[in-house]
Amino acid sequence: MKYFDHAATTLPYEDVTTTVAEIMARHYGNPSSLHKLGEASSKLLSKSREVCAKALDVNPGEIIFTSGATESNNFAIKGAAFQYRSRGQHIITTETEHPSVYECCKQLEQLGWQVTYLPVNTDGLVSVEEVLAAVRKDTFLVSIMHVNNETGSIQPVERIGKRLKEHDPRIIFHVDGVQGFTTLPLSLKESGIDLYSLSAHKLRGPKGIGLLFVREGITLFPLLAGGGQEGGRRSGTENIPLIVGMSKAIRMTTEGRRERETKLSTLKTKLMDGIRAIPELEFNSTETGASHIVNFSFPGMKAEAMLHMIEEAGYIVSTKSACSSKHSEPSRILLAMGKGQEVALSGIRISLGEDHTEKDIEELLAVLDLTVRKLRNIKGREN
């Protein structure tokens, strides 16, 4: 089986898997305990925080460990909403955010907050001007993802952050960085980003662990009350093995970023050129999007049928995102980009990983070509 679903999750680095197992067996002390075992865990926790902070070029005190990006996004948005309620109750986001942002905003609407969901253009992008035009006196938060998980569209978060801060420095800017971190460098300091979410399992770390960068000076209302871990901001005994595993993966991701981006860009171009040569396929991704995601449709053909045929040939790809692919509704993201129902129902996402080779792409393209031929035959017989 060849795996082409790296936007859904990744195989952890071997070094990460062995480190996590070793720490589970040896360093089981609770970092809050005063004895030696606790102290050893506490040291690992501090060290990991430093490693993550260095990779993000921020202060260790600005990193909060969470259970993953779903929690980080919920914490960023609800934590800011509850904390800054008196400042205003208006949020700006986009129509194409991950469900952990989108549904979180929907929940807040039920509780009395107001949310502007900015539309995107045919490439899935919002413009800086549209964001600024949506700002109101009571806007306290803007939440925009860096890279879309279904299509790879790269939002201009650096420019949005800078202009937003010039416009009103009190507005908090949150970025879901999950799909951008592996290939795109981003200066949190210079981009006016106040809150930034990451998930370890998208960058070859373990599942169930993530982080939220919270710029110094910003307070979030804690969603998890309890023993006051993470400086009182996120209670619950810290998961030391996963935290250490994530810090390793984050360090390795950052160190290899430039090389990975170059390699994946070449592979993506090859993949897109090959797909372009297959008649009837329509792209939902652009050349200028993130280098690890290519999304396309075979209009009129259910994505699920295509996915299973590709799988039978030994290749794993995806329809929409992993979290929403069990629902056979059209993709909310593709509809927001102005695609018709047929295209939005037939989106296939191929997401590349750093270990792929040119030969893998050639083989995948041959499978895609054959699959389309077979499906076209079936379609022809049905008509």
Q: If binding means CB under 6 A, how many residues of this protein chain bind ligand PMP?
A: 16
Question: Under the criterion CB under 6 A, does residue 149 sit at the interface with ligand PMP?
Answer: yes
Only one of the segments 83-91, 174-182, 325-333, 346-354 lies at the binding site for ligand PMP (rule: CB under 6 A); that segment is: 174-182
303 and 248 Cβ atoms separated by less than 8 Å: no
Quick one: which of 96, 143, 199, 229 contacts ligand PMP (CB under 6 A)? 199
Least distance in angstroms from the C-beta of 321 to ligand PMP:
6
In the range 71-90, which residues lie near ligand PMP by CB under 6 A? 73
Quick one: which of 44, 69, 128, 203 contacts ligand PMP (CB under 6 A)? 69
Least distance in angstroms from the C-beta of 289 to ligand PMP:
14
Q: What is the DSSP code (8-state) at residue 351?
A: E
Quick one: which of 179, 254, 295, 319 contacts ligand PMP (CB under 6 A)? 179
In the range 312-351, which residues lie near ligand PMP by CB under 6 A? 321-323
Question: Under the criterion CB under 6 A, does residue 70 sit at the interface with ligand PMP?
Answer: yes
Is 104 among the catalytic positions? Answer: no
Question: CA-to-CA distance for 304 and 224, rounded, in angstroms?
Answer: 38
40 vs 160 by CB, closer to ligand PMP: 160
Ranges of H-type helices in the chain = 14-26, 36-56, 69-83, 99-110, 128-134, 157-167, 240-255, 257-276, 303-312, 332-336, 341-345, 358-382
Quick one: which of 68, 205, 347, 353 contacts ligand PMP (CB under 6 A)? 68
Ranges of H-type helices in 199-256 = 240-255
Question: CA-to-CA distance for 179 and 67, rounded, in angstroms?
Answer: 17
Q: What is the DSSP code (8-state) at residue 262?
A: H
Neighbours of 341 (CB within 10 A): 12
Question: CA-to-CA distance for 341 and 283, rounded, in angstroms?
Answer: 15
Only one of the segments 74-82, 124-132, 176-184, 299-307 lies at the binding site for ligand PMP (rule: CB under 6 A); that segment is: 176-184
Which residues are annotated as catalytic? 323
